[in-house]
């Protein structure tokens, strides 16, 4: 696969991710949040099960425990996003979801007890102003849906940091496949306790759930893991920054969602924050590559 083909495939993956907000909004008209999560990830787990069986030789009890832990983290963050979608627009949820990338350095800084670079601090400040514009409406009232989406973004940021710590472990791939099953289990238990589970009633609702499971979960996960081998982290992050833009366009055409002036300014600030964060990633990546070349040169001498 060439770099150009990888970029186009990653752009398609990003577009598919962005459609999840529209599909969740449609699915929520027929089923409750926990039931939706259970159906989505049960189907997704069945789709990736053949891949999991191929890696069964390197699995252990620790792999299963890791898959359950990762699944619970995604489950906890998705609660915020899905509940938020019941109270706010798909485009708002998408833009707030991308703040997870900006929240990562805050969590890493607290974890490592060190100050992030100034460019990262600037991106955090811009994202914070954008968040305020999204969550505070009409002067003082709070958008409860936006607050739930922010919960989801924070939870996913924690997940990114944790995965970054264990990404190089040899059983990481089967553990990440197992997390689909873990999410389905946690969601199924929650649906049984807090909801009255029932299946979708229309073809459109079933189509939305199948799209979420097969395309937005199983396909995107596998394809992203393949394509990222051919792209630098900074380029991948820059392509991913298009996700809320795609989501807003889809929401406009299919849900008739239009942002007001305050929302547009907030969205713009969050987009700028994401671009600045990707510039930081690019600088770090280039510096790491330069150090590696220098080290290899010295080793050859």
> Which residue is listed with tokens 């799209």?
211
* Cα torsion through 295, 167, 276, 75, rounded to 10: 180
Query: What's phi and psi for 167, nearest 5 deg?
Result: -65, -30
The pLDDT assigned to 135 comes to: 64
The b/e string for 139-156 (b: 16+ C-beta within 10 A; e otherwise) is eeeebebbbbbbbbbbbb
pLDDT in tens, the chain (301 residues): 777 788 888 888 889 888 999 999 999 998 999 999 999 999 999 999 998 888 888 888 888 999 999 999 999 999 999 998 888 888 888 888 877 777 776 776 666 666 566 666 777 777 777 766 666 765 555 678 888 888 888 888 888 888 877 767 788 888 888 999 999 999 999 999 998 888 898 999 999 999 999 999 888 888 877 786 777 655 666 777 778 888 888 888 888 887 777 777 777 777 777 777 767 666 665 666 665 654 555 444 4
Number of domains in the chain: 1
Other CB atoms closer than 10 Å to residue 195's CB: what's the count?
15
Measure the N-to-C terminal CA separation of the chain; round to a whole number of Å.
Answer: 34
| Spatial CB neighbours of 21, under 8 Å, sequence gap ≥ 6 | 85, 90, 91, 93, 94, 97, 247, 250, 251
The pLDDT assigned to 240 comes to: 74
Q: For residue 47, which of 224, 233, 220, 297 has the smallest C-alpha distance?
A: 220
Angle between helix 172-194 and helix 61-85 axes, rounded to 10 deg: 50
Q: How many CA atoms lie within 13 Å of 257's alpha carbon, on the beta-carbon side?
A: 23
β-pair type (141-142, 136-137): antiparallel
The pLDDT assigned to 265 comes to: 79
Question: Could you list the residue range(s) of the whole structural domain that residue 212 is in?
Answer: 3-300
**3-state DSSP helix/strand/coil % of the chain, to nearest 5:** 85, 0, 15
């Amino acid at each position: 696969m060439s770099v150009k083909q990888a970029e186009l495939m990653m752009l398609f993956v990003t577009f598919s991710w962005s459609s999840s907000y529209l599909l969740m909004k449609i699915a929520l008209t027929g089923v409750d949040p926990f039931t939706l999560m259970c159906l989505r990830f049960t189907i997704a787990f069945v789709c990736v099960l053949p891949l999991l069986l191929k890696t069964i030789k390197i699995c252990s009890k620790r792999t299963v425990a890791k898959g359950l832990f990762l699944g619970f983290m995604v489950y906890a963050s998705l609660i915020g996003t899905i509940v938020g979608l019941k109270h706010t627009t798909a485009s708002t949820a998408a833009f707030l979801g991308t703040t997870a990338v900006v929240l990562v350095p805050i969590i890493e800084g607290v974890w490592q007890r060190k100050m992030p670079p100034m460019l990262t601090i600037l991106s955090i400040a811009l994202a914070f102003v954008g968040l305020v514009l999204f969550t505070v409406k009409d002067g003082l009232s709070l958008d409860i849906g936006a607050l739930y989406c922010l919960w989801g973004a924070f939870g996913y940021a924690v997940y990114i940091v944790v995965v970054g710590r264990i990404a190089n472990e040899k059983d990481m791939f089967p553990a990440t496949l197992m997390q689909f099953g873990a999410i389905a289990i946690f969601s199924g238990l929650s649906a049984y306790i807090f909801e009255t589970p029932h299946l979708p009633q229309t073809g459109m609702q079933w189509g939305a759930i199948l799209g979420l499971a097969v395309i937005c979960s199983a396909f995107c996960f596998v394809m992203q893991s393949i394509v990222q081998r051919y792209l630098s982290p900074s380029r991948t992050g820059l392509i991913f920054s298009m996700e809320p833009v795609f989501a807003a366009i889809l929401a406009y055409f299919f849900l008739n969602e239009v942002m007001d002036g305050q929302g547009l300014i907030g969205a713009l600030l969050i987009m700028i924050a994401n671009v600045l964060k990707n510039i930081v990633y690019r600088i770090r990546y280039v510096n790491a590559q330069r150090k590696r070349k220098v080290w290899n040169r010295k080793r050859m001498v």
